[in-house]
């Protein structure tokens, strides 16, 4: 009898434990308990999960904190296996419907994601009998939060509905949401409309003319909405509509859709114009099939370049090269686009200039060498003198395409002063940024230019007053060695470091930085360079007067041994005679930290040698 009781207690325990934890006063405990929901379900098994856990969670979903709901909704989205597979997945829908109606946005969003995940597991019958009624309930509820969630669920059903009448009813319902009195509902409907349109693009045989009457009506409603937070979503809707008709090779609506594009581009609301500017190339590319229509977008494009709002100019500045490439008309680019480039490069808004600097060099791809020299280079040289560091940094980071067309010599006259000025900027974060760009420049400009113009600058950063700069400079030398090779590193970096002024090396910080730099190079240089140049210097520092140096030498030894271990027979004697001997001395050091790290390294070295 007692055995039966124990078995029964074991069966009850997981759910009882969860129930106790979810009644805990501390919300952190309740959240943690909910995170273990999958473990509880596994312990219970599918049958008890369906009969006991799901009803319990349905109660929880109606009375707890948003933090608990958030975890619960996320868990339920992957809960189908725990209830016994897809045939029982509809049991999860009532809980998620409750959670999709809550006021907290994060919970609703996760509930929608989970509902869409569950929908993928459902059969056609389950979809029609359970999921579509759920969508309809949410879409026709009194409270706005339910309707907002409903908008995100249509994508799971529209493409799977083959019956034209049912699909028409669903689109009619979505049209109601597009026209809802509450802006938040209309915004959600407009946000998810492109997903529905994209489904028709992926399933061209699915749509009927009547479907497109509904979608056209929806788009027009978004376009005419009195809230700019709804209307600006019309840009993405238009792009999706254009993609659909292009996929069908149906261009009969292109003129009307171009007019819609112009309407959005010139809208009185700056948010709408910003969205049009931010997606301009994607929008314009949908008219590539007709050069005359594409050219009609040039003037609207130029109007965005002169927009009164800085954010709009910032967005369109990034689109300049890609739009110019679409035009494929050098005359239009030179006569109309380049004056706009010049104006934006002098824009009063520094963020606009920085945005232009990110992509402006790509204009070199669509011009010949003479045009690049005459038109683009003067703009770039001026931007390299910009007072705002981000402008200069962005130009420097993207010079490869220009270098490919005209060569580095023409750029170097203004490039080097800009780099030098950034390298010595008072703000250490600016210095950090240019250090991070040096490997990119090295790859773009080549070894010869780098050795002549930038090598000494890279070495000088090792002695910066800010630790983060010195650390970045060390990593920079490693990256450059990976780019140019270890022989270059031997000649141009290591030999220079080892010949450093002995008076400077009297400073502990200099010795520590030099040690860090050499150790960073060990993994990327040959074993010969390590043994002939780096190891002797490390040995010299093993008797340094500063404990911090000595224990870092102890840590450095293990890195050297790991490097040499790839050819252990050749270097075993050297390791024993030099490194092991030195470590045994350091183990006897008076400093506790030196002893500790020396012992650690000695143990690891012996393990490698054994």
Tell me, what's the pLDDT at 569? Answer: 86
* pLDDT for the residue 410: 66
By the 8 A CB rule, do 375 and 367 touch?
Answer: yes
Query: What is the rounded CA–CA span in Å between residue 510 and residue 232?
Result: 57
| Average pLDDT score, the chain | 88
> Residue 38: is its pLDDT beyond 90?
no
Q: Exposed e or buried b for every residue in 250-261, given b needs 16+ CB within 10 A? A: eeeebeebbebb
Using CA atoms, how far residue 313 sits from 133, 528, 570, in Å, is: 46, 56, 64
What is the model's pLDDT at position 39? 84
Contacting residues for 371 by C-beta, under 8 A, at least 6 apart: 330, 334
Worst-scoring range by mean pLDDT, 265-274, 303-312, 485-494? 485-494
pLDDT above 80 (res 210): yes
Give the pLDDT band (50/70/90) at residue 490: very high
Predicted confidence (pLDDT) at residue 293 exceeds the cutoff of 50: yes
DSSP codes joined into one string, 343-358: HHHT-S-HHHHHHHHH
> Which pLDDT does position 14 carry in this prediction?
64
Comparing 103-112, 520-529, 566-575, the range with the smallest average pLDDT is 566-575
Is residue 390 within 8 Å of residue 357, measured between CB atoms? yes
Confidence at residue 5, expressed as pLDDT on a 0 to 100 scale: 42
Total number of domains in the chain: 2
Domain final residue pick, 88, 122, 156 = 122
pLDDT digits (tens, 9 = 90+) for 416-452: 777 778 788 888 888 887 888 888 878 877 888 888 8
Q: At what angle do helices 183-202 and 144-151 cross, to 10 degrees?
A: 20
pLDDT value of residue 411: 62
- Residue 406 in domain: no
Q: Are 389 and 370 in contact, with CB atoms under 8 Å apart?
A: no
Query: Is 238 within the bounds of a domain?
Result: no
pLDDT in tens, 518-567: 999 999 999 999 999 999 989 988 888 899 999 899 999 989 998 888 88
Q: What is the DSSP code (8-state) at residue 52? A: I
Residue 8: its pLDDT value, please? 41
Q: Identify which has the larger pLDDT, 37 or 237.
A: 237
Here the CATH number for the domain that contains residue 38 is 1.25.10.10
Confidence label for 506 from pLDDT (cuts 50, 70 and 90): confident
Per-residue pLDDT for 92 more than 60?
yes
What's the pLDDT at 386?
A: 85
Please indicate, yes or no, if residue 539 is contained in any of the structural domains.
yes
| CA–CA separation, 135 and 143 (whole Å) | 14
Q: Is residue 113 part of a domain?
A: yes
pLDDT at 6 over 50: no
pLDDT at 502 over 70: no
- Nearest Cα residue to 222 out of 255, 252, 263, 277: 263
Look at 425 and 129; give whichever has higher pLDDT: 129
Per-residue pLDDT, 464:
87
How much is the average pLDDT of 65-85? Answer: 88
DSSP state of 426: S
- The predicted structure's pLDDT at residue 53: 86
Residue 482 lies in a domain: no
pLDDT at 16 over 70: yes
- Domain boundary, last residue among 54, 89, 122: 122
What pLDDT, on the 0 to 100 scale, is given for residue 2? 42
C-alpha to C-alpha distance for 263 and 219, rounded to whole angstroms: 13
Q: Enter the pTM of the model.
A: 0.76
3-state secondary structure of 521: helix
Dihedral sign, Cα of residue 62, residue 66, residue 72, residue 73: positive
Last residue of a domain, one of 66, 92, 122: 122
Q: How confident is the model at residue 178 (pLDDT cuts 50, 70, 90)?
A: very high
Q: Which domain holds residue 54?
A: 11-122
- Under the banding of pLDDT at 50, 70 and 90, the label for residue 413 is low
* pLDDT for the residue numbered 405: 74
Q: Is the pLDDT of residue 312 over 80?
A: yes
**pLDDT the model gives residue 4:** 44
DSSP for 53-114 reads: IHHHHHHHTTSS-HHHHHHHHHHHTT-GGGGTSGGGGGGGHHHHHHHTTSS-HHHHHHHHHH
Give residue 592's pLDDT.
92
Judge whether 49 lies within some domain: yes
For the cut 80, the answer to whether the pLDDT of residue 505 exceeds it is no
């Amino acid at each position: 009898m007692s055995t039966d009781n124990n078995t029964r207690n074991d069966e009850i325990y997981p759910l009882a434990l969860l129930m106790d934890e979810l009644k805990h006063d501390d919300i952190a405990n309740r959240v943690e308990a909910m995170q273990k929901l999958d473990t509880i379900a596994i312990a219970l098994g599918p049958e008890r999960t369906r009969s006991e856990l799901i009803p319990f969670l349905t109660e929880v979903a109606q009375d707890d904190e948003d933090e608990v709901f958030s975890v619960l909704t996320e868990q339920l989205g992957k809960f189908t296996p725990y209830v016994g597979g897809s045939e029982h997945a509809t049991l999860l829908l009532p809980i998620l419907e409750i959670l999709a109606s809550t006021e907290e946005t994060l919970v609703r969003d996760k509930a929608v994601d989970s509902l869409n995940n569950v929908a993928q597991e459902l059969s056609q019958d389950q979809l029609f009998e359970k999921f579509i009624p759920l969508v309809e309930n949410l879409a026709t509820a009194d409270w706005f939060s339910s309707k907002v969630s409903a908008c995100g669920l249509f994508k799971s059903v529209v493409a799977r509905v083959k019956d034209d009448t049912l699909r028409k009813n669903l689109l009619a319902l979505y049209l109601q949401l597009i026209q809802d009195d509450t802006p938040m509902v209309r915004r959600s409907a407009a946000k998810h409309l492109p997903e529905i349109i994209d489904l028709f693009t992926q399933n061209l045989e699915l749509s009927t003319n009547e479907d497109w009457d509904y979608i056209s009506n929806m788009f027009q409603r978004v376009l005419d909405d009195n809230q700019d937070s709804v209307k600006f979503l019309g840009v993405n809707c238009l792009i999706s509509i254009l993609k659909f008709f292009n996929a069908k090779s149906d261009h009969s609506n292109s003129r009307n859709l171009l007019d819609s594009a112009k309407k959005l581009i010139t809208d009185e609301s700056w948010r709408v114009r910003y969205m049009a500017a931010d997606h301009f190339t994607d929008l314009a590319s949908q008219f590539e099939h007709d050069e005359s229509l594409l050219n009609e977008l040039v003037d609207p494009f130029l109007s965005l370049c002169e927009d009164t709002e800085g954010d709009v100019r910032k967005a369109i500045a990034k689109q300049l090269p890609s739009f110019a490439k679409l035009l494929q008309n050098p005359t239009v680019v030179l006569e109309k686009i380049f004056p706009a480039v010049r104006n934006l490069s002098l824009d009063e808004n520094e963020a606009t200039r920085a945005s232009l600097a990110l992509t402006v060099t790509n204009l070199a791809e669509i011009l010949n060498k003479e045009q690049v020299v005459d038109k683009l280079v003067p703009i770039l040289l001026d931007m390299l003198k910009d007072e705002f560091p981000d402008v200069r940094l962005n130009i420097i980071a993207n010079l490869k395409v220009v270098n490919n067309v005209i060569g580095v010599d023409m750029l170097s006259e203004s490039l080097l002063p800009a780099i030098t000025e950034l390298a010595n900027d008072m703000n250490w974060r600016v210095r950090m940024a240019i250090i991070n760009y040096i490997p990119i420049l090295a790859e773009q400009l080549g070894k010869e230019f780098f050795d002549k113009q930038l090598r000494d600058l890279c070495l000088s950063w090792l002695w910066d007053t800010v630790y983060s700069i010195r650390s970045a400079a060390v990593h920079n030398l490693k990256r450059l060695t990976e780019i140019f090779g270890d022989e270059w590193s031997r000649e141009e970096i290591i030999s220079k470091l080892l010949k450093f002024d002995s008076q400077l090396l009297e400073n502990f910080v200099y010795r520590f930085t030099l040690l860090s730099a050499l150790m960073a190079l060990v993994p990327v240089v040959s074993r010969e360079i390590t043994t002939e140049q780096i190891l002797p210097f490390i040995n010299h520092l093993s008797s340094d007067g500063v404990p911090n140096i000595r224990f870092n030498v102890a840590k450095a030894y293990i890195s050297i041994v790991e490097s040499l271990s790839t050819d252990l027979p050749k270097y075993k004697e050297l390791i024993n005679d030099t490194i092991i001997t030195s470590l045994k001395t350091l183990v006897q050091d008076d400093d506790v930290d030196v002893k500790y790290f020396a012992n650690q390294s000695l143990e690891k070295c012996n393990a490698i040698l054994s």
